[in-house]
Amino acid sequence: MSNQPTSLREEIRQTKPFESPAQEAILGLYRTSDMLQRRFSHLVEPHGISLQQYNVLRILRGAGKEGTPTLDIAQRMIEKTPGITRLLDKLETKHLVRRKRCPEDRRQVLCWITDAGLILLAKLDKPLVQSGLSAMECLSQTEIRQLISILGKLRAQLT
């Protein structure tokens, strides 16, 4: 794959100009996000999990021994999903997480990562970090900081 930048129009073989630079930027974000997701999916899927399931495991690892409520996991997801219970069901079936209804509030379900989940994350940490670094190596540290700032402004506008 070439590291030479191509225009988005060339990549998607679009013959007409974009309606605006904003439209081109939005479509460029979609395209880049898709490419990043596919790159990281190739690393986690051979281990029997999706990127969303990986994200849940990372959140639970960060929660530590206290665990965290299901609704907190849903709020912390990078990619929002209405099916957090289904994600947890699949992870529990694979013995990567465990759940327990909170004794103080029966409406709340607490979740923890299991030792098997921690072992899986330990296997995935280095390859995912390396892949991320590799994806960003075409940018300088200044450009990375600018990108972080620009994306933060966009998210603030969209919330």
For residue 37, the surrounding DSSP H or E stretch is helix 21-44
Q: Who's near 59: CB < 8 A, 6+ residues apart?
A: 68, 73, 76, 77
Query: What percentage of the chain carries pLDDT values higher than 90?
Result: 73
Q: Which residue has the higher pLDDT, 34 or 14?
A: 34
pTM: 0.86
By the 8 A CB rule, do 91 and 56 touch? yes
Q: What is the structure's pLDDT at 2?
A: 52
Q: Which residue has the higher pLDDT, 21 or 106?
A: 21
CA–chain centroid gap for 22, Å, is 24
Q: Which of 9-18, 55-64, 71-80 shows the highest mean pLDDT?
A: 55-64
81 pLDDT more than 90: no
Q: What is the structure's pLDDT at 121?
A: 97
Q: Give CA–CA dist 98/13, Å, rounded.
A: 47
Each residue of 132-146: pLDDT tens digit?
999 999 999 999 999
Residue-averaged pLDDT of the chain:
91
Each residue of 40-69: pLDDT tens digit?
999 999 999 999 999 999 999 999 988 899
Q: What band does 35 get if pLDDT is binned at 50, 70 and 90?
A: very high
Start-to-end Cα distance in the chain: 36
What does CATH list as the number for 20-135? 1.10.10.10
Average pLDDT over residues 114-126: 97
159 pLDDT more than 90: no
Q: Where are the domains of the chain?
A: 20-135
Q: What band does 92 get if pLDDT is binned at 50, 70 and 90?
A: very high
